[in-house]
Amino acid sequence: MKKHLFIITFLTIAFFNACKKTEYNSESINPEPIKVSVLKKYPRGSFKDYFVSSKVISLETTNRSLFSNIDRLSMYNDKIFILDKKSNAVLIFSSTGKFLSKIKSIGKGPGEYIGLKDFSVDEKSEYIILYSHRPYKLLFYNLEGKFVKEQKLKDYYFNIAFLNDKLLALTKKNNKMLMDYNLEKEVTKEFLEMNDKDKFFLTLGQRTPNFIKSCRKEVLKTLKCIGYQIMA
């Protein structure tokens, strides 16, 4: 500990000594201002440029529908699905905000989990797929929140998304960034080679989901479905 303090003190003294030796004349410094027009290069967009319509939905408040945070939000089949990692639950509301049901099955047995990391909606089979990282497994529920089945996993993943009839997961296994999981055959395939920037951002950790829940054909023309810090 003393060695560390000595080094810091020495460097500090050397820095101030160097500053004393160099004298600056403020009158000789004549900085040239550089004007940058941010609005000209990046003009402000309007609501209509990004959204078709807006609607305020008041969620019903009951003893069972309380949650602390929205870690992921998805909408499908006139239902709203909300992930709350703190309470390890997925809450289901109607499109009008009425509370319908809640998925929360804490335990170590079949159909149970200890830690909930993410979820996605399988629009093909109409399943709510929960991803548990304690232990590693996928839990399948119907749209009403009833447990159907589960599949065990071997590795840890950051986030999941059901896209184009496939389950994708963000990973960093074998220097690959994405994993394609065949739910029927239970076969995984890693793809998309990681570069230095990918490795750097993955070491920071992600608080928000990295996948949007789905990509429509019209969206694919202008927007990538996979990217950092994209909320569902």
Of 9-23, 37-51, 166-180, where does the model show the most confidence?
Answer: 166-180
* Tens digit of each residue's pLDDT (9 = 90 or more) over 196-222: 877 777 666 555 556 654 444 443 333
pLDDT band at residue 35 using 50, 70 and 90 as cut-offs:
confident
pLDDT reported for residue 84: 96
Average pLDDT over residues 33-47: 74
Q: What is the pLDDT of residue 94?
A: 96
pLDDT tens for 161-187 read 887 778 989 887 888 888 888 888 888
Residue 134: its pLDDT value, please?
Answer: 94
- CB within 8 A of 157, min separation 6: which ones? 117, 131, 133, 169, 170, 171, 179
Overall pTM surpassing 0.75 (yes/no) = no
How many angstroms separate the CA atoms of 180 and 189, rounded? 5
pLDDT at 225 over 70: no
How many residues belong to the chain? 232
Give the span between the Cα atoms of 121 and 20, in whole angstroms: 65
Q: What is the mean pLDDT of residues 50-74?
A: 90
The whole-number average pLDDT for the span 110-115 is: 94
Q: How far is CA 197 from CA 71, 145, 227, in A?
A: 25, 39, 12
- pLDDT (average), residues 67-79: 92
Q: Which residue has the tokens 């992921």?
A: 72
In the prediction, which pLDDT does 127 show? 96
Most confident of 16-30, 33-47, 75-89: 75-89
- For residue 117, the surrounding DSSP H or E stretch is strand 115-122
Phi, psi of 13 (to 5 degrees): -65, -45
pLDDT band at 86 (very low <50, low <70, confident <90, very high): very high
Note the pLDDT of residue 205: 58
The mean pLDDT of the chain is 78
What pLDDT does 211 receive? Answer: 61
Lowest model confidence (mean pLDDT) among 41-45, 54-58, 210-214: 210-214
Percent of the chain whose predicted confidence (pLDDT) is above 90: 41
